[in-house]
Chain A
Amino acid sequence: MTPLLQVDNLRIELTTRDGVAPVIDDLSLQLNAGETLSFVGESGCGKSMTALALMGLLPEGVGRVASGKILFDGEDLTQASDARLREIRGNEISMIFQEPMTSLNPVYTIGEQIAEVLRRHQNLSKKAAWNKAIELLDAVRIPNPSARVSDYPHQMSGGQRQLVMIAIALACEPKILIADEPTTALDVTVQAQIFDLLRDLGREFGTAIILITHDMGAVADMAERMIVMYAGRKAEAGPVEQVIEHPRHPYTKGLISCVPHLIATLTEERPELTEVAGIVPSLRDFGRDQCLFASRCDRADQQCKSSRPPEIEFDDGQSSACWHAEQL
Chain B
Amino acid sequence: MTDKKPRPLLKVENLTVRFPVKRGGLFSKKAYLYAVDDISFEVARGETLAIVGESGSGKSTAALAIARLVEAHSGSVMLGDDDFLSLKDEALRQARAQVQFIFQDPYASLNPRLRAEAVVREPLDSLGTGNPNDRQATIDELFKAVGLRPEQQRLFPHQFSGGQRQRIGVARALATRPELIICDEPVSALDVAVQAQILNLLRKLQKDFDLTYLFISHDLGVVQHMCDSVAVMYMGKIVEHADRLSLFNNPLHPYTKALLSAVPSVDKKRRLETKRILIPGDPPDPLSPPKGCRFANRCPAAQEQCTQSQPLLRHMKTGHSVACHRVSDDGVAPL
Taking a contact as CB atoms closer than 8 A, the residue among A141, A266, A276 that contacts B249 in the complex is A266
Subset of 9 A-B contacts with CB under 8 Å: A188-B218, A193-B280, A221-B265, A254-B193, A258-B196, A261-B265, A262-B267, A273-B225, A279-B194
In the complex, given contacts A188-B262, A218-B264, A262-B270, what are 18 additional A-B residue pairs having Cβ atoms less than 8 angstroms apart? A157-B282, A158-B55, A187-B55, A188-B54, A188-B259, A191-B264, A192-B276, A217-B263, A221-B265, A221-B271, A245-B268, A259-B192, A259-B222, A263-B265, A264-B270, A273-B195, A277-B197, A279-B191
- Interchain CB contact under 8 A, A259 and B54: no
**Chain A residues whose C-beta falls within 8 Å of the C-beta of B224 in the assembled complex:** 260, 262, 266
- Residues of B whose CB lies within 8 Å of any CB of A are 54-55, 161, 163, 191-197, 199-200, 203, 218, 220-222, 224-226, 244-245, 248-249, 258-271, 273, 276, 278-282
| Mask of A196-238 contacts with B, CB within 8 angstroms, 1/0 | 0000000000000000001111101110000000000000000
Known A188-B220, A188-B263, A279-B163; contact A258-B193, beta-carbon cutoff 8 A: yes
- A279 to B, closest residue via Cβ: B161
Knowing A189-B279, A279-B161, the reply to whether A43 touches B191 (Cβ < 8 A) is yes
Which residue, A191, A256, A260, has most C-beta atoms of chain B within 10 A? Answer: A260
Please name the residue on chain B nearest to A274 by beta carbon.
B196
Chain A residue nearest in CB terms to B163: A279
Assuming the contacts A189-B262, A220-B265, A260-B222, asked whether A276 and B196 have C-beta atoms less than 8 A apart, the reply is: yes
Taking a contact as CB atoms under 8 Å apart, the answer to whether A42 and B259 are in contact is no
Q: Do A273 and B265 form a contact, CB below 8 Å, given A262-B224, A266-B248?
A: no
Which chain B positions have C-beta within 8 A of A2? none
Interface residues of A in 249-295 (CB under 8 A from B): 254-256, 258-268, 270, 272-277, 279
A259 and B195 contacting across the interface, CB-CB below 8 Å: yes
Question: B266 CB to closest chain A CB, in angstroms?
Answer: 5
> Which residues of A approach B to under 8 Å, CB–CB?
42-43, 141, 143, 157-158, 187-193, 195, 214-218, 220-222, 241, 244-245, 254-256, 258-268, 270, 272-277, 279
Minimal Cβ-Cβ distance residue in B for A256 = B266
Cβ-defined contact, B195 with A258, below 8 A: yes
Q: How far is the CB of A159 from chain B (nearest CB, A)?
A: 8
Select A42's contact among B191, B222, B265, beta carbons within 8 Å.
Answer: B191
Complex Cα distance, B271 from A214, in Å, reads: 19
Across the interface, do A262 and B221 meet the contact criterion of CB distance under 8 Å?
A: yes
Q: How far is the CB of A250 from chain B (nearest CB, A)?
A: 12
What is the chain B residue whose CB lies nearest that of A276?
B193
Contacts of A220 in B (CB 8 A): 264-266, 268, 271
CA distance A157 to B285 in the complex (A): 12
Q: Give the docked Cα–Cα distance between A218 and B221 (Å).
A: 13
Chain B residues, CB < 8 A from A222: 264
In contact, A262 and B263 (Cβ under 8 angstroms): yes
Q: Is the CB of A275 within 8 A of B225?
A: no
The answer on a CB contact under 8 Å between A255 and B193 is yes
Assembled-state Cα–Cα distance A264/B264 (Å): 12
A221 CB to closest chain B CB, in angstroms? Answer: 4
Nearest CB in chain A to that of B223: its residue = A260
* B196 and A273 within 8 A (CB): yes
Task: State whether A262 touches B220 (Cβ < 8 A).
Answer: yes
Instruction: Write the chain A residue with the least CB distance to B197.
Output: A275
Q: Which residue of B lies closest to A160 (CB)?
A: B282
B residues in contact with A221, CB < 8 Å:
264-265, 271
Given B200, B260, B271, B279, which contacts A275 in the complex, CB threshold below 8 Å? B200
Q: Which of B195, B259, B267 contacts A189 (CB 8 A)?
A: B259
> Can you list the 9 inter-chain pairs with the closest CB atoms, starting with the nearest?
A260-B225, A221-B264, A217-B264, A192-B262, A273-B196, A258-B196, A187-B54, A276-B193, A264-B270
Residue of B nearest to A45 (CB): B191
Q: What separation, in Å, do the CA atoms of A244 and B268 have in the docked complex?
A: 10
B225 → chain A, closest Cβ, in Å? 3
What separation, in Å, do the CA atoms of A191 and B265 have in the docked complex?
13
Q: Which residues of B contact A274 (CB under 8 A)?
A: 196
Q: Chain B nearest CB: distance from A163 CB in Å?
A: 12
